[in-house]
A and B are shown apart, each in its own frame.
Chain A
């Protein structure tokens, strides 16, 4: 009963009476625009309530839609991640193929312009011991490969066939410690012998330097000179690029020359094996003709 007793809720009663009076006054008074205050206040209050309700509904709707959109975006994101990964893989494969195509194209160009009879071979392996700089190619005696045949790349001399089998061959690289080739300085025509230095401090087929030996102390040699094969060793045809002089120092009256190979041995993929040089072919034809006689 205490709840029904208005004397127990004086404040509420007072507020109700005051509000009633305000409503009563508002119903009679008009604003400057001629609209009753009650109407304007009521409209204003309800307009704000409508605005709030609309805003709340819109927020809830947006939140709900965003939640669903977020779910979809998450799935889409995962799908796209997979797609990106797949595309990156495909791109890498395409790049590899493109690089291979370029290499093969360069080899093809070299084959057609060198005038040598050559056999193209893919590099299928490298030497097991870093002290011995060798590679393995996928061509062997079945393809005409013999020991001491020159192996070249578009950039220059790679090395020589060391040990051919029927279907593969081991190639000694020019940078191997035991490798040597007769060369000359292209500018001054000074002859010498290139020998591998090897690179015990580096593992794998990193580009190492080679030494140019047996160059007379009075010879005209300077840094930056191109070094090409001289053909005197009977292995490498004359005129193939070997490298560029990296440093040339005169020690005790003798040249100490370091040459940077023209070929990047770390990225060899395919090579050409020189089966016959034009001179050898002519010589071979001459021998055959003499034999027939």
Chain B
């Protein structure tokens, strides 16, 4: 069940990223929903789940993009693993710690992603830190909201069931 949930979350994130993300912030890639999903999965299920989710999501994202397949996968694998490990070691339930994790994960992902492109002399990113900062902020906000929704879902379902029973 957990694996299915993870796959569903990643699929949803990919679908949203490819269709709706460009409408969210002025058409630029200011939010990486797939990365948000990977971090959320990692914090929920741990480093192995986060790593596998990151690897799969990154590879699919790479395949859908025109870049080198594997760079995004590698970046998300590392982020998923470290976020999962961090989530296992520390209590990350409040909004602020989650915000920090999302920001850190985004920065790490950006460093690995853009760093690899730069090292391999494949692509140059103009003013990467500015874009990275904006994306980190965007990811953090979306992540906190998404987490809030996910965590409130079981309560909503329970309340609906209770109402049906009363009727």
Residue ranges of A at the interface with B (Cβ–Cβ < 8 Å): 6-7, 10, 13-14, 17-18, 21-22, 24-25, 28-29, 32, 37
Contact = CB atoms under 8 A, between A and B. Distances in A.
B78 interface: yes
A18 B78 contact: yes
Contact of B71 (A7, A14, A25, A32): A25
A18 B55 CA distance: 9
A25 B47 contact: no
A21 B48 contact: no
A25 B58 CA distance: 12
A25 B70 contact: yes
B70 A10 contact: no
Given A7-B48, A25-B116, A29-B68, A17 B122 contact: no
Contacts of A25: 68-71, 74, 116, 120
B70 A14 contact: no
A21 B47 contact: no
B69 A14 contact: no
Q: Which of B69, B70, B81 has the most CB of A within 10 A?
A: B70
A21 B70 contact: yes
Interface in B59-81: 68-71, 73-74, 77-78, 81
Contacts of A29: 68, 120, 122
A189 to B, nearest CB: 114
Interface of B: 46-48, 51-52, 55, 68-71, 73-74, 77-78, 81, 116, 120-122
Given A17-B55, A18-B77, A28 B48 contact: no
A53 B78 CA distance: 34
Given A17-B77, A21-B77, A28 B70 contact: yes
B68 A13 contact: no
Nearest to B88: A10
Nearest to B73: A21
Contacts of B122: 29
Contact of A28 (B55, B68, B74, B81): B68
12 contacts: A10-B48, A13-B48, A14-B77, A17-B77, A21-B71, A21-B73, A25-B69, A25-B74, A25-B120, A28-B68, A28-B70, A32-B121
Contacts of B74: 18, 21-22, 25
Contacts of B52: 17
Contacts of B68: 25, 28-29
A25 B72 CA distance: 10
A24 B47 contact: no
- Which one of A17, A21, A22, A32 has the greatest number of beta carbons of chain B within 10 Å? A21
Nearest to A24: B70
Nearest to B116: A25
Contact of B47 (A14, A18, A37): A14
A10 B46 CA distance: 10
Contact of A24 (B48, B73, B120): B73
A14 B74 CA distance: 10
Contact of A17 (B51, B116, B120, B121): B51
B121 A37 contact: no
A13 B81 CA distance: 10
A17 B52 CA distance: 8
Nearest to B71: A25
B113 to A, nearest CB: 11
Nearest to A13: B48
A32 B121 CA distance: 9
A128 to B, nearest CB: 103
Contacts of A24: 69-70, 73
Nearest to A25: B70
B85 to A, nearest CB: 8
